[in-house]
Structure 1
Amino acid sequence: MYSLLNDHPSMRVGLAALINHQSKIQVVAEAANGEEAIEVYSKTKPDVVLMDLRMPGIGGVEAILAIRKVDPDVKVIVLSTYDLDEDIHLAIRSGAASYLLKDTPIEDIANAITSAYAGNVSLPKSVTKRLAESLQREQLTEREKEVLEALIMGRSNKEIASRLSISDETAKSHLKTLFQKLNVCDRTEAAIAAVRHGIVHLD
């Protein structure tokens, strides 16, 4: 049994029809928002929940956390339009067993449902890579973040060294480590990555 939670009726109905044609999988309930998701889960207790993240009212992550308070062992698969690092990270941290994009082939969605039912965490390689990169970014030291902020402000190595009261060589060393952790090749890519991934916020 499986429950589908999505705020777009046509998407929900179409996906439910496709899923119901898969062997050994049956849609037992649908919901259009987070509030309904929590209520539907309490009533039907499906084996697997397919959850959208961005819904009106209570969002997907909040709904997952609320449902897991009722049943810590619930199997949830997030199906989203967005492949943003923050969304992926929040979904997995909330306890999702997988994170799939809405253009994922139906056979792969069915396989993810079967895998989640069996108690497995199955993430596409692209998502696994993004999580690994996100973890690496989280490991930036406070000093490295200060260097990154100065870099985004357009400071030269010498200016960064002076601003932080460190030597030019130390500033260069911090930049080299930053490039490795951010998986970038130069200062411009580092600045773009920092803003895109929310490491540094521009006013």
Structure 2
Amino acid sequence: MSNVRLLLADDHQIVREGMKMIVEGSSRFTVVGEASNGDELLSQAWKEKPDIILSDLKMPGPSIIDSCEQLKERLPDVKIVILTAFDESEDKFRALESGIDGYIMKDTLPEQILGAMEMVAMGYSCFQPKLDRKKHEAEERLMLTEREQEIFQLIVENYSNQEIAQKLYISEATVKTHVSSILRKTGQPNRSQAVLYALKKGFVQVRT
């Protein structure tokens, strides 16, 4: 994806202008539309067919989480990123469960926002973490080993078992053993459910 077409949605014009300056500071992104509420977002999405929608979480009209399924159905290749001031685990859990591709805080540094957008454009999910303190407390309760924590982090970042093996210089069979242990300790039936669980508990992050 050489040039990423972006739709910005926020009910505050000054926020849209600020984000436009940030993303257009990179040659990778072009803003093709703007919206100030949920209805305008849908209208602009159908018209412009953007690659990425960067939207506020709480605007007038239908929320981006509620609209996600409809957007993904009509625009199957679109990536949706929430940009918000609300750092709530329940919002993040609902966002991931609905198919949202990213969740970024508004006070994030511009270069980190661009990094997150780059990750999403490449097909990765990018959810900013809760406080590291809660992350470590949850990890301790689960009694994950250091290697399991490392592999779980890569699972959250959408790496396959083969890619994890290559990245960590271990065999794919060893990765599968660790993944099985992670699923057992989290009490989840598969990788996707384990990621949802980890996000809800607030102890995973995506490095930007």
- TM (norm. structure 2) is 0.59
Q: Which runs of 5+ in 2 are unaligned?
A: 142-185, 187-200, 202-208
Pairwise CA distance, 1:13: 1.4
SS in 2 for 1:126: coil
Aligned residues: 135
| Counterpart code for 1:81 | A
Q: Which runs of 5+ in 1 are unaligned?
A: 137-180, 182-196, 198-203
Identity among equivalent pairs (%): 32
- Name the counterpart of 1:14: 18
Flag as ranges the 4+ runs of structure 1 deviating above 4 A: 127-130
| Pair member with larger Rg | 1
2:110 matches 1:106: yes
| Counterpart code for 2:75 | D
Pairwise CA distance, 1:22: 1.7
State how far apart, in whole Å, the 1-side matches of 2:107 and 2:43 are: 27
State how far apart, in whole Å, the 1-side matches of 2:24 and 2:78 are: 21
- Equivalent residue in structure 1 for 2:80, among 76, 82, 90: 76
State how far apart, in whole Å, the 2-side matches of 1:4 and 1:120 are: 19
Q: Is the 8 A contact 1:33 1:57 kept in 2?
A: yes
State how far apart, in whole Å, the 2-side matches of 1:88 and 1:96 are: 9
SS in 2 for 1:72: coil
Pairwise CA distance, 1:127: 7.9
State how far apart, in whole Å, the 2-side matches of 1:48 and 1:42 are: 13
- Equivalent residue in structure 2 for 1:41, among 41, 45, 60: 45
| Counterpart code for 1:88 | K
State how far apart, in whole Å, the 1-side matches of 2:94 and 2:59 are: 15
> Higher relative contact order by CA 8 Å / sep ≥ 6: 1 or 2?
2
Counterparts of 1:29-178 in structure 2 under 5 Å? 29-126=33-130
Pairwise CA distance, 1:46: 1.0
| Counterpart code for 2:124 | N
Pairwise CA distance, 1:126: 3.1
| Counterpart code for 1:87 | D
